[in-house]
Amino acid sequence: MTAVNDHVAKIRNLAGLATPMALRVAVTLGLPDRLRGDGDTASRVAAELEVSPVPLEVLLGHLASLGIVEHTSTGYRTTDFGATLCTDAGNGLTNFLHLDMAGGRAEMAFVELLHSVTTGEPGYTRRFGQDFWSDLTQRPHLRASFDEQMTHRFREQIPGLVAGYDWGRFSTIVDVGGGHGSLLAAILVAHENLRGHLVDLDPTATEAIRTFSAHHVEDRAEVTASSFFDPLPAGADAYLLCDILHDWDDENAHRILKRCVEAVAPEGRVLVIEALGGRQDNTEFDLAMLAIFGGRERRVDEFRTLASAHGLVLETVVGLTGQRNLLEFRLTQVS
C-alpha cells in the first residue's frame, strides 16, 4: 500500500495545476519584482495592483511554500530563488510564464490538449478564437515578445549552429523566417565572402536590419518584409528553414517547401534545422508544437517523405548541437 500511495502522490504532483498557474499569475502581476528588497504587505501590494487583498494573500502563501517569497515581520519579500523570476534575470522565464506575453499565452493552449489530440488541430485556435500567427499580427506586443523569445532561445545555440556546418561552401543564403537575424548575422560574420537575405514579416524584418548593422554585416545582408507563403527571393545557393517546419502541419509545411524549391538555384540546397523526432526531440516540447500550432517534431523519414513531394532528396543529416540537426536537401533533377 505504501508503494501505491507513493504512486498516487507522485501523479498528483505531476498533474496538479495549482503551482504552474500560481507561478504564471505571480509573474503576470510582477510580484517577484515588486517584492524585492525589503518586500511589502499583501494589502499595500493589492492596492497598487488593484486586486483583491485576501486572494492575493492566498497566492503569496503558496508562493512562500515554494520558496519564491518569504513571509517576514513586515510582509512578503522575494527570495534569492524567487529572483529567478524577475524581469531582469535574463533567462527567458518572464516571457515563458507571463500570461500576456507570447510564450505564456501560448502555453494556455494546453488547456485544449484533448481537442488537439482528438482532431490534430491546434488548441490555441480553440482557446483564443484565432491561430497563433493571427494573434501575433493583431497584437503587436505579442509579436515583439515572441521575437524576443526566439532570439533568447537561440542565443546559446548559435555558436554550434555556425561551427557545425560548412556554410562557406555557399555564396548566397536566404534565411526563410529568420526572425531578428541573429543566426544569419553570425554566419555572415564567420564567412566574409558570403551574402545573406532574410525574409520575415514586419516589424520583425525591421529588427533584423538593426541586427545586421550591429554585427557590421549590413553591406552583405538584405532584408525582405514578406511571408514565406509568398514567392521567395530567387536564385540563392541555399534556403534555410531554422525551427520553421515544426510550427506547421503537413499541408502548410508543403506550402513552405514549395516556395523554397521554386526559388532555389538548380544546384542549390534547402537546409532544415530542427530537433528530430526520435533523436533530440523533447516530448514536452513536441506536445507544445501540437497544442499551439498543430505541428510536431518530425522524424527523418517524415522529412524525407515531405520533401520528396517537391523533388527534393535528403543528402545528409548533420548533428549541430545537442538539440538540433541540419538536414540538407538537393533537387532530384538538376537541369
Question: What domains, with CATH codes, occur in the chain?
Answer: 2-89 (1.10.10.10), 152-280+293-331 (3.40.50.150)
What is the grid cell recorded at 97? 510564464
d(CA 177, CA 198) in angstroms, rounded, equals: 7
The residues, ordered by sequence, that sit 6+ positions from 173 with a Cβ below 8 Å of its Cβ are 167, 184, 187, 194, 195, 196, 197, 236, 237, 238, 239, 240
Helix, strand, or coil here: 295?
A: coil
pLDDT band at 323 (very low <50, low <70, confident <90, very high): confident
pLDDT of residue 268 exceeding 80, the answer is yes
Q: Judge whether 180 counts as a catalytic residue.
A: no
Which is catalytic among the residues 98, 197, 246, 310? 246
Predicted pLDDT of residue 1? 56
Q: What is the pTM of this model?
A: 0.88
228-266 pLDDT, tens digit per residue, is 999 999 999 999 999 999 999 999 999 999 999 999 999
